[in-house]
Structures are given as structure tokens and as C-alpha cells.
Amino acid sequence: MFTGVRNDDVFGFLRPSVDAHTLGTTYLAQLLRDAGYECVVGDMLVSQAMNRIQASENRSLVKQWLERHRISLLGISYRLDPDQAREVFGRTYYQLEELGLIGSRHGIRHVFFAGLPDACEAIKREFGERVTVFMGDETPLETLSTLGVPRERIPDQLVLGTEYDNFRMQLSQELVSQASYFQVQAQNLGDYEEFGTDKDSVVARLSASQRKRRSPLMRAHVGPYVPDRTQALLQFEEWTRELANGGLLDILSIGTSQLTQEAFGLNWGSRPNGGGVPVNSANEYERIRLAARPMLVRTYAGTRDVPALAKIHEESLNIAWHALSFWWFSQIDGRGPNTVHENLCQHLETLDYIAATGKPFEPNIPHHFAFRGGDDISYVLSALLAAKAAKARGVPYLILQIMLNTPKQTSGTQDLAKARTLVKLVRELEDARFCVFVQPRAGLDFFSSDPNKARQQLAAVSMMMMDIEPRRTLGPDIVHVVSFSEGSFLATPPVVNESIQITRHAMDRYKEYTGVIAHDLADHVQEVDLRTHRLTSHVRTMLAAIEDYIPNTYSADGLYEVFRSGFLVAPTLWEGRDEFEHAVNWHTRIDSRGCEIVYDDGSPMSLEDRIEICLANLISTNDREGHSN
């Protein structure tokens, strides 16, 4: 039985090289180092040896690594297939036990495993108290507590952020246990002339909502998984009618399949659908639009011939707004056939079309940098660049999506500072011809696989949305509701509706506690203000450097150069690493201040050095291309 960490313990973390999920391990190692413990993360050589540890040479290599670093507490992670996880972990554990490395006086005192819930349950059944498991939904403090780290060794900044998170979770536990959210009813917004007609729009609906002092509009992303295309479309139409009749959902986002996005209108033949709604004609979109009334409808942009598909969405769906990702959904993330430069050209052309329609534009951008190890500055800066590009091309409305909990290790204090910075800088662009609507959402991998805990998490993140712009007492303009089932199963209409009820009830209840936040969590409020000010200043400085040194910044060439020269950061980018070597060649870490770029020794990099490196990259790339011409 594990009795807790000792002062002389050395943590070692291993994963097989086939599992590319490293962020959680890196973050935990940093937490432990900040608490004063020695941590060693296995390099690629050791990770490759773990793939086939039963081979004598690999077993010897792992043994040498453990003994050389005097590892006394060993963590093993595997976040892929649960059956393979149990097999990989079991094989590793028994090989180490056979070598006499587990349980010996100078060997490994205890073993930890982090993986998917099913893998954790299987390992608990087989190994009992010999192994402590982590399913991935633990908070940083819960993780450190399970490891036995004493409170006095935990950094104050981490505790400060956790106090705010704990406050919201305690309220959420009470709300979910009482189940009073089921009393939430549909809002009546149908008193304006265009409601539910072909002339309806999200701008008109937002005006009606604000006039009536109602809660934010609710948007949800929906799509069943059925292998047969015809059955999938029929089921989605049924789901759409069910959601429309429920009256809780304002904006239906069609979760279209990858084939719809990259091969709309083509003959798919026997190509597998791969999940999502397999729409392949304007007529099928029209059927969905009619089934959805009076809801508004939107869908993914295309990844090929983007402007052409945007026109189809406009004509067949009366799309509520268009979303574009600029650098993403291209070759570098495997989501589309375009090169990054081709993507930028097509997306800017599509912005011209959006401007002509008078519809809003949503930058589906910043979280994609966060997914790939990007820092907080890159998160904010990428969205700000997109907003400025949209305004320059005459787009009248911007829907500013803010994905919270990304990475999921982010504390509420960090999230608020990042969100407030983004909103502040983008709202500064507002004038008589450019209006911004704020749309927060929970993170993609935030929710626990335990449905009850996930309900509490949904309520807690909904409460945080009210703190992004606390003076706006009605809350954000739109909420992208991520269903509580995200971590365990596909959301059906009843789950979507329940998630909306939780969201609205949590936001309404949280209004009662604004005074408590200001009084009891005054240190948290001050810390958020300080972080917001610092991040805002840094983004302004970065933007000024970009606009000073990159000609035609908001053209396809300019935006391409912003990414290529390293002003936007993506260290864990998989494809295009040679083309975007300057975007990849950074080290980032998550700590109590957020996600930031660090030097090789782990200390925070100064903004001056960061900009100097980017400008040197810009010059060297231009020189190289000049010589090649």
C-alpha cells in the first residue's frame, strides 16, 4: 500500500513510443518539480524499448535507465486502446518485478498508471493496491494529493487558482445533486417578425434575446454515428425535429462527416463515412433546414473549394454564421487537401463572400494552436489576427469562440485571464461597422467519463463563463454547449437538452454569488487582473512587431509568414514540421502563470528574446528564398 511521497523520492515517467500523448506527463512532472521533487521523463530511446520490453536488450535498457536515475516512484501512461493499455502495462510491470526492481529496498516503491477509464478499471482489478491509477479527470491538486505531496510544498499560485475552481465545483455538486435544473424551460423568443422564417438570423435573435433580458442563446454540435449513409441522414433529421420541438436549443450545429467537408457533391463510392452526418447535396441540407425550424442552423466549412461550399451553405441552409480556421483544416492537421497557403487564399476569398452576405464569421482557430502545445500568446494572437483580417474585408459581425479548459490542466484563473485578454483586444475593434458577439465553450477533452462528475464539470465551466465579462449581467451572447457525455458517449437529443438545462441553470444560479467572489476570493480576482494586464501587454507588443515587419499582414502571404516565422507557436505539430520549423522550434510549459514559452532550462523566455528570434527567422527565411531564386 502506498503511504505517500518521501523527500528523497525520485519520480520516473514512462510511456511506449506508440503513444504520442505527452502533455499530461509533462505537466505533472512540472508540478512535482515546482513542489521540490526530482522528476525524470523517459526519452525516445527508453520509450521505444517499452514497446517490446520482453526482449532482453530492451529490458536491460529500461533497467539501466531506472537504476541510473534512482527511480523510486514510477508512473506509466498509455492513453490509447484500453485492452492494449492493460497488456502493455501488465507486461512492463511483471518484467520489472521479475528483474527485482519493484518492492526492493532500493528499487521502485510504488507504481502509478494513467490511462483511459476502462484501462484503469482493468488494472485496478488485476493489481489492486499495488498500483494507483489516474483516469485523467483529476484536478492538479487532486493529483498531488493522491501522490501524497504535503500542502506546504504545493506552490501558492496553484492553490490560489484551485480555490476558485473548488468554489465553483462545490456549487455545481449541490446544483446537480438537487437536479433542479430539470425545471428549466424553453425561452420564448418568437416575437420578432423573422422568427423561424427564411429571413431569420442570429443577429435578429440576439437582439430579441437581449431586448427580453433572456439568457444567452444556446448552440450545440450534434451528429449521430450510423455507418449507412441513408440511415444516418434519416436519424439526424429525427434528432433535429426532436431538438426543435424541445425548444431549448437555439442554434443547431451539424456535425458533418469528414467526407462532407472534403468531398461534398462528389461520388463517394465505397469510401467509409468515418462518423458524422454524411450530407452530400444541397437538397439534403435543405431538408435539415426545414426539419430544424425554428432553430437556426450552421455547419462546418469545407476543406476543398471552400468559397464554393460556403455559397451552398448560404443558399441551402441560410447558415447562421460561417466558421473558418485559416491555417488549420489543411494538410498540416490531416483535415484537408490544401496546403496552408492555399487554405489561407481560399479562406480570405470566403471572407469576401461572407462580407457580401452580411453574415457573421467565427474564427475556429485559437484552440488549434493550444492543441499543439501553443502558448497563451499564440492563442490570443491568432484570433486577434483573424478578427482584424475579417474587419479589413468588410465582415460586419464576429462571433468570438473561446474554448476554455484547453489544455485541460488550465486552472480557472489562467482561463479567465486568457479569455478576458482575448475579449478585450477583439472588442477594441468594434465600431459602427463591426460588432463582436462572445461565445465561450468547454474544452473538448475536459469532461470526466463519470456522467455525474461530468454534469458537475459542465455546471462549473458554465459558471466561469459568467466571469469572462462580469459587468454583462446576462452573460455571454452565445454559449456553445458541449454535452456532459463528451467523455463517455455520443450525445443524443435528451443529453443535449439536459446539458442546456444544466448550463442555463448554473449561469442563473451563479449570478447570486458575484459579491462572494469579489469578497471571499479577492486574491483570485487580483491575480486574474494582473495576468490579464500582462498578457494583454505582451499580445499588443507581438502584434506591433508583426505589423511592422511583415508586409500586407492580413493577406494570405502575410498570414502565412506570421506562422512560418514563428510568431504563432505549435511545438507538437505533426505534419509540415520542416515547412514550419520556426513554429515548431519552441519549448512551452504550463505552470501557475499559464502556458508560456521557456528557455531550454525551463525558465520563462523574455518577450524581447522571443520577438528577436522571430525577426531573425523572418530574415533568414527571406534570405534563403532570395538566394534560391
Q: How far apart are CA 305 and CA 143, in angstroms?
A: 47
**CATH number of the domain within which 240 lies:** 3.20.20.240
Side-chain-facing half-sphere of 516: CA atoms under 13 Å: 10
Nearest to 537 by CA among 368, 369, 381: 381
Region 329-334: mean pLDDT is: 94
Kindly state the helix (H) or strand (E) to which residue 402 belongs, with its residue range: strand 397-403
Cβ atoms of 410 and 431 closer than 8 Å? no
Q: In this predicted structure, which of 26-35, 177-186, 207-216, 243-252 has the lowest mean pLDDT? A: 26-35
Residues 445 and 562 in one domain: no
Give the closest residue to 76 by CA, choosing from 123, 9, 6: 123
- The predicted-structure confidence for 57-77, as pLDDT tens digits, reads as follows 999 999 999 999 999 999 999
Predicted structure pTM score: 0.88
Rounded distance between C-alpha atoms, residue 328 and residue 82, angstroms: 30
Confidence of residue 594 (pLDDT cuts 50, 70, 90): confident
What is the Cα–Cα distance from 290 to 549, expressed in whole angstroms?
Answer: 50
Predicted confidence (pLDDT) at residue 11 exceeds the cutoff of 80? yes
pLDDT in tens, 91-131: 999 999 999 999 766 789 999 999 888 899 999 999 999 99
Provide the pLDDT for residue 50.
86
Q: Are residues 289 and 349 in the same domain?
A: yes
2 in a domain, yes or no?
Answer: no
In a domain, 4, yes or no: no
344 HSE (CA, 13 A, CB side): 20
d(CA 185, CA 470): 25
| Among 377, 436, 389, 390, CA closest to 604 | 377
Say if 317 falls within a structural domain.
yes
139 sits in the region (left: phi over 0; alpha: psi -120 to 50; else beta) called beta
Q: 454 falls in which pLDDT band (50, 70, 90)? A: very high
Q: Is residue 95 part of a domain?
A: yes
Q: What's 318's DSSP letter? A: -
Q: Which of 14-23, 152-161, 308-317, 506-515 has the highest mean pLDDT?
A: 308-317
| Residues 280-330 pLDDT 10s | 999 999 999 999 999 999 999 999 999 999 999 999 999 999 999 999 999
Residue 455: all three cell numbers together: 454534469
Sign of CA dihedral 62, 65, 66, 68: positive
Q: How is residue 625 written as a grid cell? A: 528564398
Q: Are 186 and 192 in contact (CB under 8 A)?
A: no
- pLDDT at residue 467 is higher than 80: yes
Q: Domain check: are 130 and 244 in the same one?
A: no
- pLDDT class for 629, splitting at 50, 70, 90? very low
- From CA 402, how far away is CA 380, in angstroms rounded? 10
pLDDT at 156: 74
Contact 554, 389 (CB under 8 A): yes
Q: Please report, for the domain that includes residue 16, its CATH number.
A: 3.40.50.280
| Residue at which a domain ends, from 122, 154, 186 | 154
- Give Cβ neighbours of residue 5 (< 8 Å, ≥ 6 apart): 37, 73, 147, 148, 149
- CA-closest candidate to residue 158, choices 34, 74, 62: 34
Residue 149: C-alpha distances to residues 3, 115, 156, 388 (Å) = 11, 21, 14, 46
Instruction: Tell which of 476, 503, 529 closes a domain.
Output: 529
- In this structure, are 103 and 137 located in the same domain? yes
Cα 317 to Cα 284, 290, 313, 567: the distances in Å are 10, 9, 5, 37
Question: Do 176 and 265 have their domain in common?
Answer: yes
Q: What is the pLDDT of residues 28-55, one digit of tens each?
A: 888 888 889 999 998 888 888 888 888 9
Helix and strand numbers, DSSP H then E, in the chain = 23, 15
DSSP E strands, 404-490: 435-441, 478-481
Q: Which residues contact 128 (CB under 8 A, 6 or more apart)?
A: none
pLDDT beyond 70 at 265: yes
Please report whether residue 78 resides in a domain: yes
Most confident by average pLDDT, 29-38, 234-243, 406-415: 234-243
Q: How far apart are CA 318 and CA 46, in angstroms?
A: 54
pLDDT at residue 44, as a whole number: 83
Contact 366, 379 (CB under 8 A): yes
Using the structure block, give the residue that is written with the C-alpha cell 511545438: 571
Angle, alpha carbons 116-118-123 (nearest 5°): 95
CA 82 distance to own-chain centroid: 23
Ranges 15-19, 23-27, 211-215, most confident: 211-215
Q: Is residue 534 situated within a structural domain?
A: no
- Residue 153: band (very low, low, confident or very high) from pLDDT cuts 50, 70, 90: confident
Last residue of a domain, one of 529, 554, 584: 529
Q: Determine contact, residues 29/41, Cβ cutoff 8 Å.
A: yes
- Please say if the pLDDT value at position 18 is more than 70: no
Measured in whole angstroms, the distance separating CA 440 from the mean position of its chain's CA atoms is: 11
Say yes or no: 241 and 273 in one domain.
yes
- Chain segment 477-497, per-residue pLDDT in tens: 999 999 999 988 899 999 999
Range of the domain at 71: 10-154
Mean pLDDT of all residues in the chain? 92
pLDDT, tens only, 376-408? 999 999 999 999 999 999 999 999 999 999 988
pLDDT score of 431: 98
- Grid coordinates representing 18 are 506508440
Do 316 and 281 contact (CB within 8 A), yes or no? no
Is residue 159 in some structural domain? no
Instruction: Report the DSSP pairing between strands 251-254 and 217-222.
Output: parallel
Cis preceding-peptide flag for 407 (omega within 30 of 0): yes
308 falls within a domain:
yes
Same-domain check for residues 355 and 437: yes
- Strand duo 587-591 + 594-598: pairing: antiparallel
SS3 labels along 545-610: HHHHHCCCCCCHHHHHHHHHCCCCCCCCCCCCCCCCHHHHCCEEEEECCEEEEECCCCCECCHHHH
Instruction: Give residue 158's pLDDT.
Output: 74
Distance in angstroms (rounded) separating the CA atoms of residues 424 and 383: 12
Same domain, 443 and 415: yes
Q: What is the mean pLDDT of residues 227-247?
A: 95
How many separate domains does the chain show? 3
Q: Are both 284 and 149 inside the same structural domain?
A: no
Residue 592 has pLDDT above 50, yes or no: yes
In a shared domain, residues 148 and 235: no
Q: Which residues pair with 93 in a beta bridge?
A: none
The helix or strand, by DSSP H or E, that contains position 369, with its residue range, turns out to be helix 366-371
Q: What is the pLDDT of residues 174-191, one digit of tens each?
A: 999 999 999 999 988 888
- 271 and 339 in a single domain? The answer is yes
d(CA 51, CA 272): 30
pLDDT above 70 covers what percent of the chain? Answer: 96
Quick one: 239 and 113 in the same domain?
no
